[in-house]
Chains A and B, each alone.
Chain A
Amino acid sequence: MNVLTKPALGQPKRKFADLQRASMVRWAIIVALVAVLELTTRTGMISQSLMVPPSVILAELASIVPTEQFGQDAARTLTTILTAFSIGLVLGVPLGVFLWRVPAAGRILEPFIVTGYAMPTLLFYPVLLAVMGLNAGPIIVIAASMSLIPIALTTMVALNAIRPILHKLANSVSASPQQYYLKVLFPAATPLIFPGVKLGFIYAVIGTVAMEFILASQGVGFRAGFYYRELNTADMWAYIAVVIVLSVLVNSVLTWLEKRIRRDML
Chain B
Amino acid sequence: MLVALILLWALLSTMSDLVASPAESLSALMDRFADGSIYRHLNATMQAVAIGFLIAAAVGFPLGYAIGRSKFLGAVFDPLVAGAFAIPRVIFFPILLQIFGVGVGAQSAMAALAAVFPIMVSTTAGVRAINPLLPKLARSLSLSPLQTVTKIYVPAMAPSLMVGIRIGFSIAFINVIIAEFFAARAGLGLLALRAYGMLDLPTMYGIIVLLAAIALIGNLALWAVERRLGNKQL
**B is bound to A:** yes
List chain A positions with a Cβ less than 8 A from chain B: 1-2, 5, 18-19, 21-23, 25-26, 29-30, 49-51, 108-109, 111-112, 114-115, 117-120, 122-127, 129-131, 202, 205-206, 209-210, 213-215, 221, 224-225, 228, 236, 240, 243-244, 247-248, 250-252, 255
In the complex, the answer to whether B88 meets A243 with C-beta atoms within 8 Å is yes
**Shortest distance between the CB of B23 and any CB in chain A (Å):** 17
Q: A123-B211, A127-B205, A131-B19 are in contact. Are A225 and B82 (CB under 8 A)?
A: no
The 3 lowest CB-CB distance pairs between A and B, nearest first, are A118-B170, A22-B75, A228-B94
Q: Which of B98-126 contact A (CB under 8 A)?
A: 98-99, 121-122, 125
Bound complex: CA A119 to CA B219 (Å): 8
Among candidates A2, A22, A50, A250, residue contacting B99 with C-beta atoms closer than 8 Å: A50
Bound complex: CA A119 to CA B216 (Å): 7
Bound complex: CA A19 to CA B215 (Å): 41
Bound complex: CA A252 to CA B85 (Å): 12
Q: A2-B125, A214-B182, A255-B82 are in contact. Are A120 and B173 (CB under 8 A)?
A: yes
Q: Is B80 interfacial (CB 8 A cutoff)? A: yes
Enumerate chain B residues within 8 angstroms of A19, measured Cβ to Cβ.
75
Chain A residue at minimum C-beta to C-beta distance from B93: A213
List chain B positions with a Cβ less than 8 A from chain A: 1, 16, 18-19, 71-72, 75-77, 79-80, 82-83, 85-88, 90-95, 97-99, 121-122, 125, 128-129, 166-167, 170-171, 173-174, 177-178, 181-182, 192-193, 195-196, 201, 204-205, 208, 211-212, 215-216, 219-220, 223
In the complex, the answer to whether B129 meets A247 with C-beta atoms within 8 Å is no
In the complex, the answer to whether A129 meets B196 with C-beta atoms within 8 Å is yes
In the complex, the answer to whether B208 meets A126 with C-beta atoms within 8 Å is yes
Given contacts A213-B178, A225-B94, A247-B86, 13 further A-B contacts (CB under 8 A): A26-B77, A26-B80, A49-B98, A51-B95, A108-B1, A109-B1, A122-B178, A123-B215, A124-B208, A126-B192, A209-B91, A210-B90, A215-B181
**Shortest distance between the CB of B49 and any CB in chain A (Å):** 12
- 23 A-B Cβ contacts within 8 A? A1-B125, A21-B72, A22-B75, A30-B80, A50-B99, A109-B1, A118-B167, A118-B171, A118-B219, A119-B219, A120-B211, A123-B177, A126-B196, A127-B204, A130-B19, A131-B16, A213-B88, A221-B91, A228-B97, A240-B92, A243-B91, A247-B86, A251-B82
Bound complex: CA A252 to CA B177 (Å): 29
